[in-house]
Amino acid sequence: MDKVLARGSGTPTPRPRARTALTLAAAGVAVFAVTVAVATSASAGTTLGSSAAESGRYFGAAVAANKLSDSTYVGILNREFNMVTPENEMKWDATEPSQNQFNYTNGDRIVSHAQANGMRVRGHALAWHSQQPGWAQNLSGTALRSAMTNHVTQVATHYKGKIYAWDVVNEAFDDGGNGARRDSNLQRTGNDWIEVAFRTARTADPGAKLCYNDYNTDGQNAKSNAVYAMVQDFKARGVPIDCVGFQSHFNPNSPVPNDYQANLQRFANLGVDVQITELDIEGSGTAQADNYSKVVKACLAVSRCTGLTVWGIRDSDSWRASGTPLLFDGNGNKKAAYTSTLNALNGGGTTPPTTAPPTTTPPTTAPPTTAPPTTAPPTTPPAGGGCTATLSLNQWQGGFVTYVTVKIGASPANGWTVGLTLPSGAVITNTWSATPSGTTGTVTFRNVDYNGQLGAGASTEFGFQGNGVGPSGTATCTVR
């Protein structure tokens, strides 16, 4: 298996980088762009997940719980992917079939499988006009608003600490070219339903990245412009949003837009991560392979594009099976699109930024009450051999996530070890992309299988979550 997570570890949760800038700005502190975009050299990872990880990204798949007994399916999943999205199992109709009666059985199965195999989880989706249970479809007004916030609170709390990113709100904009909100029962509860959902999710799971997710927003158009304006407004007013998901369902009638990369970049420039969340491209052969390559290269060219997820594994698993839109055929064989995707991932890219983005517009509402993440200044690669380890801390009341960027010096490394001392009382509960020696006091973190061999000047990231006050600053780093 290529993806090995620390024994006993769970899934990582992200740093909501956006809050850094907002909080600092609210405190009257000048915030400057210190984004570090590091060009990585071409490499030769042999799986989608390991190749994506070489530039600090993930490669995920939508997973159906009822396929976890299919050995071909699971074999590909475990070999190739390091992020999963439950395809239907965390939706409102699945998790709350009767009001206030929650069923997490199938969502939990997917999370357990992910944790046991070193994969992270994108949660999908907390608030959406579609796939609502019948009882919710019949609600309106304050009853529906209360039901929605209760649903967000309950589900995000159940999965707290286990979700990398939540699609908090899905598909809330209209396709009619007018840039309007989609009419839905949720929209009719008031225009603020989206920001209420985000604020509720932040309270329930402060460690999860909170995303807005939509389709037909992959290029610049009236719909993506409307989403852009909403994100810009949320950032300006301190509404907690960390990422925007671009579903990227493509076919001949809806091809990969030529301004795909530019569109990702303009959202990233607002100070949010961007993610390709439901990628599938109908077609076959070279044309399909070229389109996949184009999408992957666009993500790699945008430093805040943190990963890609394909919407299924084999063509036969797809919601659009007849369009053969995925990377593996119905027998589980790699298609030309797989090879072009892997090659594009191995072509290198920019690493996601390790510090908060700049902000120029101070929030006009009260800032979040959590302390701002602290990030040590970026380090230059060591001149000789060796490596450096730079810590980025997201601290909240009672808990923290620390991200560690390991940067290799002038000589290639066969492995690395990072050492640090946790503040008194801090206890690590999760580690990802490294194996820790313990959970308290002085801890060393050793690389896992897929991120030990790094070229000169290359970098990788691991992280850990814990209770108490987390460490920040720098740590020792040695190579083998």
Name the nearest CA neighbour of 280 among 242, 236, 318. Answer: 318
Q: Minimal distance in Å, beta carbon 61 to ligand G3I?
A: 12
Distances (CA, A) of 273 to 57, 322, 356, 456: 12, 32, 11, 27
Nearer to ligand G3I, 278 or 461 (CB): 278
Q: Minimal distance in Å, beta carbon 270 to ligand G3I?
A: 22
Nearer to ligand G3I, 159 or 396 (CB): 159
In whole angstroms, what is the distance from residue 259 CA to residue 275 CA?
16
Nearer to ligand G3I, 81 or 403 (CB): 81
Among 54, 96, 278, 282, the one annotated catalytic: 278
Asked if residue 433 lies in contact with residue 416, where contact means CB atoms within 8 angstroms, the answer is no
Applying CB under 6 A, the residues found at the interface with ligand G3I are: 87-88, 130-131, 170, 215, 247, 278, 319
Q: What is the DSSP letter of 314?
A: B
278 catalytic per annotation: yes
Q: Minimal distance in Å, beta carbon 477 to ligand G3I?
A: 41
Q: Minimal distance in Å, beta carbon 49 to ligand G3I?
A: 21
When CB distances to ligand G3I are compared, the closest residue is: 319
**Beta-strand relationship, 416-421 and 442-446:** antiparallel
For residues 62-87, one letter each, b for 16 or more C-beta atoms within 10 angstroms of the residue's C-beta and e for the rest, the string is bbbbebbebeebbebbbbbbbbbbbb
Q: Minimal distance in Å, beta carbon 256 to ligand G3I?
A: 17
* CB neighbours of residue 141 within 10 Å: 11
Name the nearest CA neighbour of 302 among 359, 350, 263, 242. Answer: 350
For residues 190-228, one letter each, b for 16 or more C-beta atoms within 10 angstroms of the residue's C-beta and e for the rest, the string is eeebbbbbbbbbbebbbbbbbbbbbbbbbbebbbbebbb
195 catalytic per annotation: no
Nearer to ligand G3I, 239 or 326 (CB): 326
Among 171, 195, 282, 461, the one annotated catalytic: 171
Nearer to ligand G3I, 104 or 319 (CB): 319
Q: What is the set of active-site residues?
A: 171, 278
